[in-house]
Structure 1
Amino acid sequence: MNSTETKLSGCFILEPRKLGDKRGYFFESFNEQTFQAVTNTATRFVQDNQSFSTKGVLRGLHAQAGAHAQAKLVRVLQGAVLDVAVDVRPGSPTFGEHVAVELSAENNLQLFIPRGFLHGFVVLSEEAEFFYKCDNFYNKESECGVIYNDATLNIDWKMVSSEFIIADKDAILPNFADFCASL
């Protein structure tokens, strides 16, 4: 597995080695020993989640607060998404900065997002199946987030905002400054 650390410390793009021939392909999408070695973490995943969405669906920017914070390893099984991670670790030299990576069924890239990050994605293809591993169990009371179009974060979602399909709860998330005031 090839790994590249992004400009955000601890956040990695992972690329599995794909073996192919006339029958199709095979790749190991996850191996705990390899993952821990390439990310230099002891992260252990306890929950897998999968979602299906259509073009323009924007999910995020989400996090779990406090003791329920989650690290995530995300990938796309079908279609393509623009995946975004925002560093909200107090004291981090890249606090408030983000990375955006296109993940697709074709490129097989994965993004590891450590605890202390907001996460979101928008579907670029007609449909997408999104899969993610979490290192902590979901807790509804610990949900938090930032509005996707926050001017301070200035995320280029690679789509016209009029094409977005957004959940009601995501449309009323606070701006980045208000989120930071609650840290």
Structure 2
Amino acid sequence: MSYQALHRDFYHRDPRVVAVELLGKYLIHEHAGQACQIARIVETEAYLGPHDKAAHSSKGRTARTEVMFGEPGHAYIYLIYGMHHCLNVVTQQAGLASAVLLRALEPVSGVTLATHGPGRLCKAMHINRELNGTDLCHGPLWIADAPALKSSTIHAGPRIGIDYAQDWALAPLRYCIANHPHLSRKSP
């Protein structure tokens, strides 16, 4: 199968639209120019920018969040609980600081560890802070296009693990391929 990287324009949109349209696309991590790890995106979460109390950018512009305030189509990778990396895709125009978290993947090629959950998928795909700021349009970490999914196969619900964000925790900003076996949590 031949893979084609998504163009910058794909990411230059509302994070809710990008989160839905990333479902079914392929995350590829190349080593030495070879596509050695490929997985299909099956679950995402949208973070709308500084007004979204669950978004890291709600705390303002910091060294950690600088990538979020930059050009769309770049990887924002951070560490949680001091041990798990999480991969976000920066969306919209520079300065708006919105992103989409990748929550779960379906292994396709070269992936041998579990990929259901943002920390697990980063571990399985060998993604860490060294890749923070990577341009996802050019690699070595990039997202490839795939046919759009039917809207009837996509489920929206509340995000996971952000109870501190009050009403924002209940916003239906988690998107997944309904009933997919690799989800971090089952879709209701």
TM range (shorter): 0.3 to 0.5
Question: TM-score normalised to the size of structure 1?
Answer: 0.33
Larger Rg, first or second structure (1 or 2): 1
Question: TM-score normalised to the size of structure 2?
Answer: 0.32
